[in-house]
Structure 1
Amino acid sequence: MAAVDKPSRVLTSLRAAVEGLADSGALTPPELAKKIGIPRPSAYRLMGALVQDGLATQQPDGAVALSTKWLSFGDQALATATPWFHRDDLLRDLRDSTRLTVYLSIPRPQRTVCVRRLHGQGVQVLVLRPGGSLPLHVGGVGRVTLAFGPEDPEAYLAAHHPERFTPRSLETSNAILADVALTRERHYCVSDEDVTVGVGAVGAPVLTPSGEFLGALSVAGRRDDIVGHEAELAAHVLETAVEIGRTAQL
Protein backbone atom coordinates (compact mmCIF):
# COMPACT_ATOMS: atom_id res chain seq x y z
CA MET A 1 0.00 0.00 0.00
CA ALA A 2 2.85 2.42 0.82
CA ALA A 3 4.15 2.13 -2.75
CA VAL A 4 0.77 3.37 -4.00
CA ASP A 5 0.38 6.15 -1.45
CA LYS A 6 3.70 7.84 -2.17
CA PRO A 7 3.09 8.57 -5.90
CA SER A 8 -0.42 9.67 -4.97
CA ARG A 9 0.96 12.31 -2.62
CA VAL A 10 3.42 13.47 -5.25
CA LEU A 11 0.67 13.84 -7.83
CA THR A 12 -1.53 15.66 -5.35
CA SER A 13 1.26 18.14 -4.58
CA LEU A 14 2.10 18.53 -8.27
CA ARG A 15 -1.51 19.29 -9.11
CA ALA A 16 -1.70 21.80 -6.27
CA ALA A 17 1.50 23.45 -7.53
CA VAL A 18 0.20 23.75 -11.09
CA GLU A 19 -3.15 25.09 -9.92
CA GLY A 20 -1.37 27.53 -7.59
CA LEU A 21 0.75 28.89 -10.42
CA ALA A 22 -2.27 29.06 -12.73
CA ASP A 23 -4.20 31.01 -10.11
CA SER A 24 -1.50 33.43 -8.96
CA GLY A 25 0.94 33.67 -11.83
CA ALA A 26 4.69 33.55 -11.21
CA LEU A 27 5.71 32.53 -7.69
CA THR A 28 8.96 31.83 -5.91
CA PRO A 29 9.31 28.42 -4.24
CA PRO A 30 8.76 29.89 -0.74
CA GLU A 31 5.64 31.68 -1.97
CA LEU A 32 4.31 28.48 -3.55
CA ALA A 33 5.10 26.48 -0.41
CA LYS A 34 3.07 28.91 1.68
CA LYS A 35 0.21 29.05 -0.85
CA ILE A 36 -0.38 25.30 -1.10
CA GLY A 37 0.87 24.26 2.33
CA ILE A 38 3.92 22.14 1.55
CA PRO A 39 7.51 22.26 2.87
CA ARG A 40 9.88 24.61 1.05
CA PRO A 41 12.19 21.78 -0.10
CA SER A 42 9.18 20.10 -1.73
CA ALA A 43 8.27 23.34 -3.50
CA TYR A 44 11.81 23.66 -4.85
CA ARG A 45 11.72 20.07 -6.14
CA LEU A 46 8.32 20.44 -7.78
CA MET A 47 9.21 23.72 -9.46
CA GLY A 48 12.54 22.33 -10.61
CA ALA A 49 10.81 19.34 -12.19
CA LEU A 50 8.29 21.58 -13.97
CA VAL A 51 11.07 23.79 -15.35
CA GLN A 52 13.18 20.80 -16.40
CA ASP A 53 10.25 19.30 -18.35
CA GLY A 54 9.45 22.60 -20.06
CA LEU A 55 6.14 22.98 -18.23
CA ALA A 56 7.33 26.11 -16.44
CA THR A 57 9.90 28.85 -16.95
CA GLN A 58 12.15 30.46 -14.36
CA GLN A 59 12.37 34.23 -14.32
CA PRO A 60 15.50 36.26 -13.48
CA ASP A 61 14.22 36.95 -9.95
CA GLY A 62 13.82 33.22 -9.27
CA ALA A 63 10.05 33.14 -9.63
CA VAL A 64 8.56 30.36 -11.72
CA ALA A 65 5.60 30.64 -14.13
CA LEU A 66 3.75 28.07 -16.19
CA SER A 67 4.98 27.83 -19.77
CA THR A 68 2.97 27.99 -22.99
CA LYS A 69 3.42 24.23 -23.38
CA TRP A 70 0.21 23.83 -21.36
CA LEU A 71 -1.72 25.43 -24.22
CA SER A 72 -1.15 22.41 -26.44
CA PHE A 73 -2.58 20.15 -23.73
CA GLY A 74 -5.65 22.33 -23.46
CA ASP A 75 -6.17 22.43 -27.23
CA GLN A 76 -5.92 18.64 -27.42
CA ALA A 77 -8.35 18.17 -24.54
CA LEU A 78 -10.88 20.51 -26.12
CA ALA A 79 -10.51 18.83 -29.51
CA THR A 80 -11.09 15.44 -27.90
CA ALA A 81 -14.28 16.74 -26.32
CA THR A 82 -15.67 17.80 -29.71
CA PRO A 83 -14.51 15.29 -32.34
CA TRP A 84 -17.49 16.28 -34.46
CA PHE A 85 -16.42 19.92 -34.80
CA HIS A 86 -14.07 21.03 -37.59
CA ARG A 87 -15.47 24.40 -38.59
CA ASP A 88 -13.45 27.11 -36.88
CA ASP A 89 -13.88 29.04 -40.11
CA LEU A 90 -17.57 29.43 -39.31
CA LEU A 91 -16.76 30.79 -35.86
CA ARG A 92 -14.30 33.27 -37.37
CA ASP A 93 -16.92 34.42 -39.90
CA LEU A 94 -19.45 34.91 -37.10
CA ARG A 95 -16.96 36.90 -35.05
CA ASP A 96 -15.99 39.06 -38.02
CA SER A 97 -19.59 39.74 -39.06
CA THR A 98 -20.79 40.66 -35.56
CA ARG A 99 -17.48 41.95 -34.11
CA LEU A 100 -18.45 40.17 -30.89
CA THR A 101 -16.83 37.38 -28.90
CA VAL A 102 -17.98 33.93 -30.05
CA TYR A 103 -18.47 30.96 -27.75
CA LEU A 104 -19.08 27.30 -28.49
CA SER A 105 -19.91 25.07 -25.52
CA ILE A 106 -20.92 21.48 -24.87
CA PRO A 107 -23.18 19.97 -22.20
CA ARG A 108 -21.94 18.36 -19.04
CA PRO A 109 -23.96 17.38 -15.93
CA GLN A 110 -25.59 20.57 -14.62
CA ARG A 111 -23.09 22.71 -16.56
CA THR A 112 -22.11 23.86 -20.01
CA VAL A 113 -18.36 23.80 -20.80
CA CYS A 114 -16.70 26.25 -23.19
CA VAL A 115 -14.65 24.51 -25.89
CA ARG A 116 -14.03 27.47 -28.22
CA ARG A 117 -13.76 31.22 -27.66
CA LEU A 118 -12.87 33.76 -30.32
CA HIS A 119 -12.39 37.28 -28.97
CA GLY A 120 -14.27 40.06 -30.68
CA GLN A 121 -13.82 43.77 -30.20
CA GLY A 122 -14.67 45.57 -27.00
CA VAL A 123 -15.22 44.06 -23.60
CA GLN A 124 -12.57 41.62 -22.36
CA VAL A 125 -14.04 40.87 -18.93
CA LEU A 126 -16.27 38.01 -20.05
CA VAL A 127 -16.46 35.24 -17.46
CA LEU A 128 -16.39 32.16 -19.66
CA ARG A 129 -13.11 30.91 -21.09
CA PRO A 130 -12.07 27.65 -22.81
CA GLY A 131 -12.34 24.84 -20.30
CA GLY A 132 -14.49 26.98 -18.03
CA SER A 133 -18.15 26.31 -17.37
CA LEU A 134 -21.42 27.91 -16.39
CA PRO A 135 -24.53 26.52 -14.71
CA LEU A 136 -27.49 25.99 -17.01
CA HIS A 137 -29.73 28.80 -15.78
CA VAL A 138 -27.47 31.70 -16.80
CA GLY A 139 -25.73 32.99 -19.91
CA GLY A 140 -26.55 32.50 -23.55
CA VAL A 141 -24.90 29.09 -23.82
CA GLY A 142 -26.13 27.93 -20.42
CA ARG A 143 -29.79 28.75 -20.95
CA VAL A 144 -29.78 27.34 -24.49
CA THR A 145 -28.30 24.11 -23.13
CA LEU A 146 -31.00 23.90 -20.48
CA ALA A 147 -33.71 24.44 -23.11
CA PHE A 148 -32.42 22.05 -25.79
CA GLY A 149 -29.81 19.86 -24.11
CA PRO A 150 -30.05 16.38 -22.59
CA GLU A 151 -30.87 17.53 -19.05
CA ASP A 152 -34.50 17.83 -17.99
CA PRO A 153 -35.05 21.41 -16.75
CA GLU A 154 -37.26 20.37 -13.83
CA ALA A 155 -34.77 17.70 -12.72
CA TYR A 156 -31.97 20.27 -12.98
CA LEU A 157 -33.86 22.68 -10.76
CA ALA A 158 -34.71 19.95 -8.26
CA ALA A 159 -31.03 18.99 -7.91
CA HIS A 160 -29.40 22.40 -8.27
CA HIS A 161 -30.03 25.58 -6.31
CA PRO A 162 -29.69 28.37 -8.88
CA GLU A 163 -26.75 30.63 -8.14
CA ARG A 164 -27.31 34.36 -8.55
CA PHE A 165 -24.47 36.02 -10.45
CA THR A 166 -26.02 39.49 -10.80
CA PRO A 167 -29.34 41.15 -9.88
CA ARG A 168 -30.57 40.14 -13.36
CA SER A 169 -29.82 36.43 -12.96
CA LEU A 170 -32.82 34.13 -13.22
CA GLU A 171 -33.32 32.72 -9.77
CA THR A 172 -36.77 31.19 -9.24
CA SER A 173 -37.94 27.93 -10.78
CA ASN A 174 -40.91 29.66 -12.41
CA ALA A 175 -38.70 32.28 -14.06
CA ILE A 176 -36.22 29.69 -15.30
CA LEU A 177 -38.91 27.37 -16.68
CA ALA A 178 -40.60 30.32 -18.40
CA ASP A 179 -37.26 31.20 -19.99
CA VAL A 180 -36.86 27.59 -21.18
CA ALA A 181 -40.28 27.77 -22.85
CA LEU A 182 -39.49 31.12 -24.51
CA THR A 183 -36.09 29.91 -25.70
CA ARG A 184 -37.64 26.81 -27.25
CA GLU A 185 -40.33 28.92 -28.91
CA ARG A 186 -38.03 31.37 -30.65
CA HIS A 187 -35.01 29.02 -30.87
CA TYR A 188 -32.57 31.46 -29.27
CA CYS A 189 -32.14 33.32 -25.98
CA VAL A 190 -30.88 36.73 -24.95
CA SER A 191 -28.61 37.04 -21.93
CA ASP A 192 -28.97 40.54 -20.51
CA GLU A 193 -26.43 41.11 -17.72
CA ASP A 194 -27.37 37.84 -16.01
CA VAL A 195 -23.73 36.67 -15.74
CA THR A 196 -21.74 39.92 -15.77
CA VAL A 197 -23.03 43.46 -15.29
CA GLY A 198 -22.68 45.42 -18.51
CA VAL A 199 -22.39 42.30 -20.69
CA GLY A 200 -24.99 40.60 -22.89
CA ALA A 201 -25.15 37.64 -25.25
CA VAL A 202 -27.35 35.91 -27.79
CA GLY A 203 -27.24 32.11 -27.87
CA ALA A 204 -28.67 29.36 -30.07
CA PRO A 205 -28.49 25.55 -30.09
CA VAL A 206 -26.25 23.53 -32.40
CA LEU A 207 -28.35 20.60 -33.59
CA THR A 208 -27.77 17.84 -36.11
CA PRO A 209 -30.27 17.64 -39.00
CA SER A 210 -32.06 14.92 -37.01
CA GLY A 211 -32.38 17.22 -33.98
CA GLU A 212 -29.62 15.81 -31.75
CA PHE A 213 -28.19 18.50 -29.46
CA LEU A 214 -24.43 18.95 -29.90
CA GLY A 215 -23.75 22.21 -28.13
CA ALA A 216 -24.58 25.88 -27.75
CA LEU A 217 -23.28 28.82 -29.75
CA SER A 218 -23.36 32.46 -28.69
CA VAL A 219 -22.01 35.92 -29.36
CA ALA A 220 -21.28 38.17 -26.39
CA GLY A 221 -20.14 41.71 -25.75
CA ARG A 222 -21.14 45.01 -24.22
CA ARG A 223 -24.83 45.20 -23.32
CA ASP A 224 -25.27 48.17 -25.68
CA ASP A 225 -24.01 46.01 -28.55
CA ILE A 226 -26.57 43.30 -27.75
CA VAL A 227 -29.79 44.89 -26.50
CA GLY A 228 -31.70 46.44 -29.40
CA HIS A 229 -29.87 44.21 -31.90
CA GLU A 230 -31.23 40.85 -30.70
CA ALA A 231 -33.07 39.84 -33.88
CA GLU A 232 -30.17 40.66 -36.19
CA LEU A 233 -27.64 38.89 -33.97
CA ALA A 234 -29.93 35.89 -33.51
CA ALA A 235 -30.15 35.51 -37.29
CA HIS A 236 -26.35 35.42 -37.54
CA VAL A 237 -25.97 32.96 -34.66
CA LEU A 238 -28.77 30.67 -35.88
CA GLU A 239 -27.39 30.56 -39.40
CA THR A 240 -23.94 29.59 -38.12
CA ALA A 241 -25.35 27.05 -35.64
CA VAL A 242 -27.36 25.35 -38.39
CA GLU A 243 -24.31 25.10 -40.62
CA ILE A 244 -22.14 23.70 -37.81
CA GLY A 245 -24.78 21.08 -37.08
CA ARG A 246 -25.22 20.24 -40.75
CA THR A 247 -21.50 19.67 -41.26
CA ALA A 248 -20.81 17.92 -37.92
CA GLN A 249 -18.78 14.74 -38.38
CA LEU A 250 -20.37 12.25 -36.01
Structure 2
Amino acid sequence: MAGNASEPGATVVSRTMALLGAFDAAHPRLTLTELARRAGLPLATAHRLVGELAKSGALARTDDGDYVVGRRLWDIGLLAPVQTDVREVAAPFLQDLYAATLATVHLAVRDGTEVLYLDRLSGKRSVPVVSRVGSRLPLHATGVGKVLLAYAPEEVRRVVLSSLTRVTPYTITQPARLRTQLTAVLADGYATTVEEMTLGACSVAVPIRRNETDVVAALGIVVPSLRRDKQRLVSALNVAAHGIGRTLNSLA
Protein backbone atom coordinates (compact mmCIF):
# COMPACT_ATOMS: atom_id res chain seq x y z
CA MET A 1 0.00 0.00 0.00
CA ALA A 2 1.46 3.35 -1.02
CA GLY A 3 1.81 6.03 1.59
CA ASN A 4 3.40 9.02 -0.18
CA ALA A 5 1.04 9.66 -3.11
CA SER A 6 -0.46 12.71 -1.38
CA GLU A 7 2.89 14.39 -0.72
CA PRO A 8 3.47 17.80 -2.36
CA GLY A 9 4.88 17.34 -5.84
CA ALA A 10 3.46 13.85 -6.34
CA THR A 11 2.84 13.31 -10.04
CA VAL A 12 -0.30 12.00 -11.70
CA VAL A 13 1.64 8.85 -12.56
CA SER A 14 2.71 8.27 -8.95
CA ARG A 15 -0.86 8.79 -7.75
CA THR A 16 -2.20 6.45 -10.41
CA MET A 17 0.37 3.79 -9.48
CA ALA A 18 -0.59 4.21 -5.82
CA LEU A 19 -4.20 3.46 -6.71
CA LEU A 20 -3.28 0.41 -8.76
CA GLY A 21 -0.89 -0.72 -6.02
CA ALA A 22 -3.73 -0.64 -3.51
CA PHE A 23 -4.91 -3.97 -4.92
CA ASP A 24 -3.22 -7.15 -3.76
CA ALA A 25 -4.07 -10.79 -3.10
CA ALA A 26 -5.82 -9.88 0.17
CA HIS A 27 -7.63 -6.90 -1.40
CA PRO A 28 -8.76 -7.90 -4.93
CA ARG A 29 -11.80 -5.62 -4.79
CA LEU A 30 -12.06 -2.24 -3.06
CA THR A 31 -14.58 0.55 -2.60
CA LEU A 32 -13.64 4.06 -3.69
CA THR A 33 -13.12 5.04 -0.05
CA GLU A 34 -10.85 2.04 0.55
CA LEU A 35 -8.89 2.83 -2.60
CA ALA A 36 -8.34 6.40 -1.47
CA ARG A 37 -7.26 5.32 2.00
CA ARG A 38 -4.90 2.57 0.86
CA ALA A 39 -3.37 4.85 -1.79
CA GLY A 40 -3.01 7.75 0.65
CA LEU A 41 -5.05 10.09 -1.55
CA PRO A 42 -7.86 12.58 -0.89
CA LEU A 43 -11.22 11.08 -1.81
CA ALA A 44 -11.85 13.68 -4.52
CA THR A 45 -8.50 12.96 -6.19
CA ALA A 46 -9.09 9.22 -6.02
CA HIS A 47 -12.59 9.65 -7.47
CA ARG A 48 -11.25 11.56 -10.49
CA LEU A 49 -8.36 9.19 -11.20
CA VAL A 50 -10.41 6.03 -10.62
CA GLY A 51 -13.01 7.32 -13.06
CA GLU A 52 -10.36 7.79 -15.74
CA LEU A 53 -8.86 4.36 -15.03
CA ALA A 54 -12.29 2.75 -15.31
CA LYS A 55 -12.96 4.49 -18.65
CA SER A 56 -9.67 3.15 -20.04
CA GLY A 57 -10.37 -0.39 -18.84
CA ALA A 58 -7.51 -0.42 -16.31
CA LEU A 59 -10.13 -0.77 -13.56
CA ALA A 60 -13.61 -2.24 -13.69
CA ARG A 61 -16.63 -1.63 -11.48
CA THR A 62 -18.62 -4.55 -10.09
CA ASP A 63 -22.42 -4.65 -9.85
CA ASP A 64 -22.26 -3.69 -6.17
CA GLY A 65 -20.03 -0.67 -6.80
CA ASP A 66 -16.61 -2.04 -5.84
CA TYR A 67 -13.59 -1.69 -8.09
CA VAL A 68 -11.40 -4.51 -9.41
CA VAL A 69 -8.40 -4.66 -11.73
CA GLY A 70 -9.60 -4.39 -15.32
CA ARG A 71 -8.95 -6.61 -18.29
CA ARG A 72 -6.78 -3.96 -19.96
CA LEU A 73 -4.18 -4.19 -17.18
CA TRP A 74 -4.18 -7.99 -17.41
CA ASP A 75 -3.63 -7.84 -21.18
CA ILE A 76 -0.68 -5.48 -20.71
CA GLY A 77 0.75 -7.57 -17.87
CA LEU A 78 0.85 -10.64 -20.07
CA LEU A 79 3.37 -8.84 -22.29
CA ALA A 80 6.01 -8.84 -19.53
CA PRO A 81 8.92 -11.00 -20.79
CA VAL A 82 9.04 -13.26 -17.74
CA GLN A 83 5.36 -14.07 -18.22
CA THR A 84 5.30 -14.44 -21.98
CA ASP A 85 8.39 -16.62 -22.20
CA VAL A 86 7.97 -18.89 -19.20
CA ARG A 87 4.18 -19.03 -19.19
CA GLU A 88 3.82 -19.86 -22.87
CA VAL A 89 6.60 -22.45 -22.81
CA ALA A 90 5.26 -24.06 -19.64
CA ALA A 91 1.60 -24.23 -20.72
CA PRO A 92 1.64 -27.69 -22.40
CA PHE A 93 3.68 -29.17 -19.56
CA LEU A 94 1.18 -27.84 -17.01
CA GLN A 95 -1.62 -29.40 -19.04
CA ASP A 96 0.15 -32.77 -18.99
CA LEU A 97 0.73 -32.55 -15.23
CA TYR A 98 -2.88 -31.69 -14.57
CA ALA A 99 -4.14 -34.48 -16.84
CA ALA A 100 -1.94 -36.99 -15.01
CA THR A 101 -2.79 -35.88 -11.46
CA LEU A 102 -6.08 -33.90 -11.58
CA ALA A 103 -4.44 -31.77 -8.87
CA THR A 104 -3.93 -28.02 -8.80
CA VAL A 105 -0.76 -27.18 -10.72
CA HIS A 106 1.13 -23.92 -10.19
CA LEU A 107 3.73 -22.00 -12.17
CA ALA A 108 5.33 -19.17 -10.21
CA VAL A 109 8.25 -16.74 -10.08
CA ARG A 110 9.72 -14.65 -7.29
CA ASP A 111 8.74 -10.99 -7.24
CA GLY A 112 10.82 -9.34 -4.55
CA THR A 113 9.89 -11.02 -1.28
CA GLU A 114 6.70 -12.61 -2.60
CA VAL A 115 5.78 -15.41 -4.97
CA LEU A 116 3.91 -14.34 -8.09
CA TYR A 117 1.64 -16.93 -9.72
CA LEU A 118 1.94 -16.91 -13.51
CA ASP A 119 -0.43 -19.80 -14.17
CA ARG A 120 -2.69 -22.26 -12.38
CA LEU A 121 -4.66 -25.26 -13.54
CA SER A 122 -7.30 -26.88 -11.36
CA GLY A 123 -10.59 -28.74 -11.58
CA LYS A 124 -13.56 -29.91 -9.54
CA ARG A 125 -11.51 -32.65 -7.90
CA SER A 126 -8.63 -30.34 -7.02
CA VAL A 127 -7.95 -29.16 -3.47
CA PRO A 128 -9.29 -25.59 -2.95
CA VAL A 129 -6.45 -23.06 -2.80
CA VAL A 130 -6.19 -19.30 -2.34
CA SER A 131 -3.79 -18.72 -5.23
CA ARG A 132 -4.97 -17.16 -8.47
CA VAL A 133 -3.17 -16.21 -11.65
CA GLY A 134 -1.50 -12.87 -10.99
CA SER A 135 -1.78 -13.14 -7.20
CA ARG A 136 1.13 -12.79 -4.80
CA LEU A 137 1.56 -14.91 -1.68
CA PRO A 138 4.24 -15.30 1.02
CA LEU A 139 7.36 -17.14 -0.07
CA HIS A 140 7.72 -18.98 3.23
CA ALA A 141 4.22 -20.50 3.29
CA THR A 142 4.01 -22.01 -0.21
CA GLY A 143 5.81 -24.86 -1.93
CA VAL A 144 6.77 -22.85 -5.01
CA GLY A 145 7.71 -19.99 -2.71
CA LYS A 146 10.10 -22.10 -0.66
CA VAL A 147 11.82 -23.29 -3.83
CA LEU A 148 12.27 -19.73 -5.04
CA LEU A 149 13.39 -18.56 -1.61
CA ALA A 150 15.98 -21.33 -1.36
CA TYR A 151 17.59 -20.17 -4.60
CA ALA A 152 17.17 -16.44 -3.91
CA PRO A 153 20.07 -14.14 -2.95
CA GLU A 154 21.01 -14.20 0.72
CA GLU A 155 19.72 -10.65 1.20
CA VAL A 156 16.24 -11.74 0.10
CA ARG A 157 16.32 -14.70 2.47
CA ARG A 158 17.41 -12.42 5.31
CA VAL A 159 14.50 -10.04 4.72
CA VAL A 160 11.94 -12.85 4.49
CA LEU A 161 13.28 -14.69 7.53
CA SER A 162 13.08 -11.49 9.59
CA SER A 163 9.30 -11.31 9.19
CA LEU A 164 7.61 -14.71 9.00
CA THR A 165 3.88 -14.11 9.24
CA ARG A 166 1.56 -16.89 10.38
CA VAL A 167 -1.10 -17.78 7.81
CA THR A 168 -2.39 -21.02 9.39
CA PRO A 169 -1.53 -22.78 12.65
CA TYR A 170 0.98 -24.84 10.65
CA THR A 171 2.86 -21.99 8.98
CA ILE A 172 6.56 -22.10 9.86
CA THR A 173 7.44 -18.88 11.66
CA GLN A 174 10.73 -19.97 13.27
CA PRO A 175 13.63 -18.61 11.17
CA ALA A 176 16.04 -21.42 12.13
CA ARG A 177 13.52 -24.10 11.20
CA LEU A 178 12.75 -22.50 7.85
CA ARG A 179 16.44 -22.00 7.05
CA THR A 180 16.97 -25.73 7.71
CA GLN A 181 14.18 -26.50 5.24
CA LEU A 182 15.69 -24.20 2.63
CA THR A 183 19.03 -25.98 2.96
CA ALA A 184 17.21 -29.26 2.40
CA VAL A 185 15.56 -27.84 -0.73
CA LEU A 186 18.99 -27.17 -2.22
CA ALA A 187 20.12 -30.69 -1.37
CA ASP A 188 16.94 -32.58 -2.33
CA GLY A 189 15.79 -30.48 -5.27
CA TYR A 190 12.21 -29.98 -4.05
CA ALA A 191 10.18 -28.26 -1.33
CA THR A 192 7.02 -29.25 0.51
CA THR A 193 4.36 -27.62 2.64
CA VAL A 194 1.80 -29.19 4.94
CA GLU A 195 -1.26 -26.97 5.43
CA GLU A 196 1.00 -23.93 5.79
CA MET A 197 -0.92 -21.70 3.36
CA THR A 198 -4.36 -23.34 3.33
CA LEU A 199 -5.82 -25.87 5.74
CA GLY A 200 -6.32 -29.23 4.05
CA ALA A 201 -3.79 -28.47 1.31
CA CYS A 202 -0.24 -29.81 1.00
CA SER A 203 2.16 -28.99 -1.80
CA VAL A 204 5.37 -30.10 -3.43
CA ALA A 205 7.40 -27.97 -5.85
CA VAL A 206 10.62 -28.05 -7.87
CA PRO A 207 12.78 -25.41 -9.58
CA ILE A 208 12.74 -24.64 -13.29
CA ARG A 209 16.25 -23.94 -14.52
CA ARG A 210 17.47 -22.06 -17.57
CA ASN A 211 20.94 -23.09 -18.78
CA GLU A 212 20.90 -25.89 -16.19
CA THR A 213 21.85 -23.46 -13.42
CA ASP A 214 19.71 -20.30 -13.28
CA VAL A 215 16.43 -20.91 -11.43
CA VAL A 216 13.86 -18.78 -13.27
CA ALA A 217 10.61 -20.19 -11.90
CA ALA A 218 9.06 -22.94 -9.80
CA LEU A 219 6.54 -25.64 -10.63
CA GLY A 220 4.26 -27.05 -7.95
CA ILE A 221 1.33 -29.36 -7.26
CA VAL A 222 -1.23 -29.06 -4.44
CA VAL A 223 -2.82 -32.22 -3.02
CA PRO A 224 -4.70 -33.23 0.15
CA SER A 225 -1.73 -35.26 1.46
CA LEU A 226 1.85 -36.10 0.56
CA ARG A 227 2.09 -39.27 2.65
CA ARG A 228 1.87 -41.75 -0.23
CA ASP A 229 2.53 -39.96 -3.52
CA LYS A 230 5.30 -37.48 -2.78
CA GLN A 231 8.05 -39.21 -4.74
CA ARG A 232 5.76 -39.87 -7.70
CA LEU A 233 4.77 -36.22 -7.78
CA VAL A 234 8.39 -35.06 -7.47
CA SER A 235 9.34 -37.26 -10.41
CA ALA A 236 6.48 -35.92 -12.53
CA LEU A 237 7.34 -32.34 -11.61
CA ASN A 238 11.03 -32.85 -12.43
CA VAL A 239 10.21 -34.27 -15.86
CA ALA A 240 8.00 -31.26 -16.62
CA ALA A 241 10.49 -28.75 -15.16
CA HIS A 242 13.32 -30.26 -17.21
CA GLY A 243 11.19 -30.03 -20.35
CA ILE A 244 10.33 -26.39 -19.68
CA GLY A 245 13.97 -25.53 -18.99
CA ARG A 246 15.15 -27.33 -22.12
CA THR A 247 12.61 -25.44 -24.25
CA LEU A 248 13.61 -22.11 -22.70
CA ASN A 249 17.25 -22.85 -23.47
CA SER A 250 16.42 -23.56 -27.11
CA LEU A 251 14.74 -20.15 -27.39
CA ALA A 252 17.65 -18.23 -25.86
**Same fold at TM > 0.5:** yes
For structure 2, the residue ranges without an aligned partner over 5 or more in a row are: 1-7
Percent of aligned positions that are identical: 22
TM-score, with normalisation over the residues of structure 2? 0.74
CA offset digits 1:187-209 (Å, max 9, x no partner)? 22221112222111110111235
Moved more, 96-105 or 235-244: 96-105
Higher gyration radius (CA): 1
Q: Is the 8 A contact 1:166 1:193 kept in 2?
A: yes
**Residue in structure 2 matched with residue 126 of structure 1 by the alignment:** 130
Q: Is the 8 A contact 1:188 1:202 kept in 2?
A: yes
**Residue in structure 2 matched with residue 160 of structure 1 by the alignment:** 161
**Residue in structure 2 matched with residue 141 of structure 1 by the alignment:** 144
Q: How many residues align?
A: 237
* Residues 177/63 of structure 1: CA separation in 2 closer, same or farther (3 Å cut): closer
Work out whether 1:73 is the aligned partner of 2:81: no
CA offset digits 1:97-122 (Å, max 9, x no partner)? 11122212223444433222223443
- RMSD, matched Cα: 3.4
**Residue in structure 1 matched with residue 202 of structure 2 by the alignment:** 200
Partner-residue secondary structure (3-state), 2:134: coil
Moved more, 32-41 or 99-108: 32-41
**Residue in structure 1 matched with residue 117 of structure 2 by the alignment:** 114
* Residues 99/152 of structure 1: CA separation in 2 closer, same or farther (3 Å cut): same
* Residues 208/68 of structure 1: CA separation in 2 closer, same or farther (3 Å cut): closer
Q: CA deviation at 1:220?
A: 1.4
Q: Is the 8 A contact 1:114 1:128 kept in 2?
A: yes
**Residue in structure 2 matched with residue 211 of structure 1 by the alignment:** 213
**Residue in structure 1 matched with residue 48 of structure 2 by the alignment:** 45
* Residues 93/195 of structure 1: CA separation in 2 closer, same or farther (3 Å cut): same
Q: Is the 8 A contact 1:193 1:200 kept in 2?
A: yes
**Residue in structure 2 matched with residue 178 of structure 1 by the alignment:** 180
* Residues 160/175 of structure 1: CA separation in 2 closer, same or farther (3 Å cut): closer
For structure 1, the residue ranges without an aligned partner over 5 or more in a row are: none
Partner-residue secondary structure (3-state), 1:87: helix
